Amino acid sequence: MSTLKNASADRPISLTAPSGIDRAAHHRLDEAWLAAAWSHPTTRVFVVSGGQVLIDDRADGTTELVMTPAFEAPVTETHRYFLGTDGDGVSYFALQKDSLPGRMDQSARPAGLREAGLLLSDRDAALMVHAVALENWQRLHRFCSRCGERTVIAAAGHIRRCQACGAEHYPRTDPAVIMLVTDEQDRALLGRQVHWPEGRFSTLAGFVEPGESIEASVAREVFEEAGVTVGEVEYIASQPWPFPSSLMLGFFAKATSSEINVDGEEIHEARWFSREDLAAAFESGEVLPPYGISIASRLIERWYGKPLPKPGDVV
C-alpha cells in the first residue's frame, strides 16, 4: 500500500501510513485461537471509551498508546475486540468500557483521535482508529435492523448477530467525498461551515448518496454547497474518519464556473484564494487552517506547495 505525500512538505496523510499490523481476519471466528492469543504473555491490550484512549507523553518526546498485558487488563465479558497481529507475532486487543481506567503512576492522559492521531506512531494510530471505529459502531447498532431484537457481539467485535431472526450485521462505513476545487486561474475554493469558528476555512465535503458514483457526488456537493459547477475530477487518496463511521475519499476537481452562491445551511461562506491571498490571510489571522489530522490539510498543501501554518507560526 502506498501513502500519498505532499511534494513540498513530504508529509503523509494522517491515519493512512502502513502500520505493520495484520488484521488477521481469518482468526476472528476461531474461538480457540482467540482464547490462546488472549492468554499469551506478549499480547497487548488497551481500553477505548467514548472515542478516547489513554496515551503517555514520554520524556524522549514520543507519545505512546497505553497498553498492558492481557492479565492486567480490566475485566469484560463481551466487548473485547481483536485488532490483529504484528510482524513479531504480538496480538492486539481493545476493550470497550464505560470509562477509562486510572493509572497508578499518573503519567497517562485521555485523548481522542483528533489529538492522538497526530502524536502516536503509525502502529498505535492504526490500532486506535480501528478500535474507535468498532466502538462507535457497537454503541450505535445494538439492535437488529430487521426485527428490532437486541443483537450479540461475534467475530471478535466485527459482527453483531441477531439470535431472534438470524441476521448478521457488519460494521458500517459511510463513504464521503472531500475535494479541493480549483478554477482556471488555479485559485482554490475554500468554505466555512455554519458551526465553525470565525476564520476557519477548509475544503468542501459531503456524503455519497445511495445509487451515486463518487464523481457525481463531488459535483453535486460542490454545486449544492457553493453553487459552483465542476468538470474534471481526480482521485487523490482516502482516509479513515470514524466520527463516527466515515471513509473520506479525497479529490481534486476543476471548476467550470466561478460564481459562488453558498447554501447557507452547511456552508456559511466560501471564497476563491490564490496562493498569495491565502498566505496573506494566514499571516493576518483572517483565515485559520483546517485541523492538521484531516486529509483536507494535505489536499490544500498539495496545491499550496508547502505545509500549512500552525498556531504561532509565521508564514
SS3 sequence of the chain: CCCCECCCCCCECCCCCCCCCECCHHHCCCHHHHHHHHHCCCCEEEEEECCEEEEEECCCCCEEECCEEHHHCCCCCCCEEEEEECCCCCEEEEEECCCCCCCCCCCEEEEEHHHHHHHCCHHHHHHHHHHHHHHHHHHHCCECCCCCCEEEEEHHHCEEEECCCCCEECCCCEEEEEEEEECCCCCEEEEEECCCCCCECECEEEECCCCCCHHHHHHHHHHHHHCCCEEEEEEEEEEEECCCCEEEEEEEEEECCCCCCCCCCCEEEEEEECHHHHHHHHHHCCCECCCCCCHHHHHHHHHHCCCCCCCCCCC
pLDDT of residue 8: 44
pLDDT of residue 311: 54
pLDDT of residue 2: 37
pLDDT of residue 103: 63
Q: pLDDT per position in the chain (315 positions), as tens? A: 334 444 444 567 889 988 999 999 999 999 999 999 999 999 999 999 999 999 999 989 999 999 999 999 988 767 999 999 999 999 999 999 999 987 656 689 999 999 999 999 999 999 999 999 999 999 999 999 999 999 999 999 999 999 999 999 999 999 999 999 999 999 999 999 999 999 999 999 999 999 999 999 999 999 999 999 999 999 999 999 999 999 999 999 999 999 999 989 899 999 999 999 999 999 999 999 888 899 999 999 999 999 998 754 544
pLDDT of residue 198: 92
